[in-house]
Amino acid sequence: MRALVTGGAGFIGSRLTLRLLEDGHEVRVLDNLSTGRRSNLPLSNVELIEGDIRSYERASTAAKGVEVVFHHAALPSIPRSLDDPLTTNAINVDGTLNVLLASRDHGVRRVVAASSSSVYGNSAEMPRRESGSTAPVAPYSVSKLAAEQYCLVVNRVYGLETVALRYFNVFGERQDASSVYAAVVPRFVEAIMRGESPVIFGDGTASRDFTYVENAVDATIAAATAERATGLAINIGTGSCRTINELVDVLSTLLGGTIVPRHLPPRVGEARTSIADISLARDVLGYVPAIDFETGLEQTIAWFGEHREHPTAEAIGSAQ
């Protein structure tokens, strides 16, 4: 298979790229390197096209001669979208439409697009089911739902095979911890390794379906060939959830220190509870999470420890 991974130098995209290469596929990456990194890619084995999905021409160049497009290019983060909704919309919505139309124009067989559990917002239904209501509460969430809808419409109108995967709180190696918009797991791990108290927004009882990146990659690759997946939006999670306080407790155990977090007011636009019903993923993709939460955290911590400039056991053990 010849595959294009948009956003392939980023967090999930780079791990997907590596897995595709391991499985013997040819991979092209389209990335503007605004949040992705060259160091995430084995450049000797990957064709890297630097470019922005806001350009149809660039998307068209990247899609030429490709069988499957894995569309992961996006501007992530709910807080970032609150600060700059116009750019979030331009990349996540207009950019997705460019990728879809370029794929249609070049005869791509299927587009597997990264969506988000945030499309459910604060819907009262739990666990989240694809047939349930969506109620996005932030510009990022709206942009992912709009992009998802474009995928489904392009499938119906133009016949391009599309699948949208609603990822639930993916974490793991290569996730950016340096940005002010960093996700909770890398932000906590880095803070603790620096000997600092992690910051919890709210009282810590908000819960998330934390999904290890390797599980998400398994589902993504399965979605490229699953016969019954076309035209669907599918939850990718674990079917279980942990509170933020429980996350801190597990990190305390794994890092062998006493962690006392700092609490700040809750952030606008974030759902209080999120847990996936993964019945559809199990049925259509044959997806079963292979790596459990604690093992995923162990591997994530190991990676961050190896890639820090000056990791110190003393700092980890004395985190307050």
b/e code 116-135 from CB counts within 10 Å (16+ = b): bbbbbbebeeebbbbeeebe
Provide the number of structural domains found in the chain. Answer: 2
Residue 174 lies in a domain: no
Mean predicted confidence (pLDDT) in 231-241: 97
Residues 78 and 192 in one domain: no
- Decide: 167 and 12 in contact? Cβ < 8 Å: yes
Query: Would you state the pLDDT for residue 83?
Result: 95
Residue 147 lies in a domain: yes
Residues 99 and 197 in one domain: no
Residue 12 lies in a domain: yes
Residues 136 and 221 in one domain: yes
Residues 133 and 193 in one domain: no
Q: What is the pLDDT of residues 258-310, one digit of tens each?
A: 788 889 998 877 777 889 999 999 999 999 999 999 999 999 999 998 886 54
Q: Output the 3-class SS for the chain.
A: CEEEEECCCCHHHHHHHHHHHHCCCEEEEEECCCCCCHHHCCCCCCEEEECCCCCHHHHHHHHCCCCEEEECCCCCCHHHHHHCHHHHHHHHHHHHHHHHHHHHHCCCCEEEEEEEHHHHCCCCCCCECCCCCCCCCCHHHHHHHHHHHHHHHHHHHHCCEEEEEEECCEECCCCCCCCCCCCHHHHHHHHHHCCCCCEEECCCCCEECCEEHHHHHHHHHHHCCCHHHCCEEEEECCCCCEEHHHHHHHHHHHHCCCCCCEEECCCCCCCCECCECCHHHHHHHCCCCCCCHHHHHHHHHHHHHHHCCCCCHHHHHCCC
Integer Cα distance of 299 and 50 in angstroms: 30
Residues 160 and 272 in one domain: no
Residues 202 and 115 in one domain: no
- Can you give the CATH number for the domain in which 262 is found? 3.90.25.10
Band of pLDDT at residue 147, cut at 50, 70 and 90: very high
Q: What is the pLDDT of residues 113-134, one digit of tens each?
A: 999 999 999 887 889 999 999 9
Residues 232 and 244 in one domain: no
Does the pTM surpass 0.75? The reply is yes
Query: Would you state the pLDDT for residue 101?
Result: 98
Closest CA to 83 of 122, 32, 139, 136: 139
Please give the residue range of the domain that contains residue 227.
2-168+213-236
Residue 177 lies in a domain: no
Catalytic residue among 56, 120, 140, 181: 140
Integer Cα distance of 261 and 214 in angstroms: 28
Residue 312 has pLDDT above 50, yes or no: no
Residues 195 and 104 in one domain: no
Mean predicted confidence (pLDDT) in 85-94: 98
**Residue 19 burial (CB count, 10 A):** 16
Q: Is 140 annotated in the active site?
A: yes
Integer Cα distance of 249 and 255 in angstroms: 10
- Can you give the CATH number for the domain in which 143 is found? 3.40.50.720
Band of pLDDT at residue 194, cut at 50, 70 and 90: confident
Residues 229 and 299 in one domain: no
Residues 150 and 252 in one domain: no
- Output the six-digit token pair for 268: 């606008």
Residues 232 and 243 in one domain: no
Residue 151 lies in a domain: yes
- Decide: 165 and 114 in contact? Cβ < 8 Å: yes
Determine how β-strand 211-212 pairs with β-strand 47-50: unpaired
Residue 27 lies in a domain: yes
Residues 128 and 191 in one domain: no
- Decide: 163 and 229 in contact? Cβ < 8 Å: yes
**Residue 204 burial (CB count, 10 A):** 16
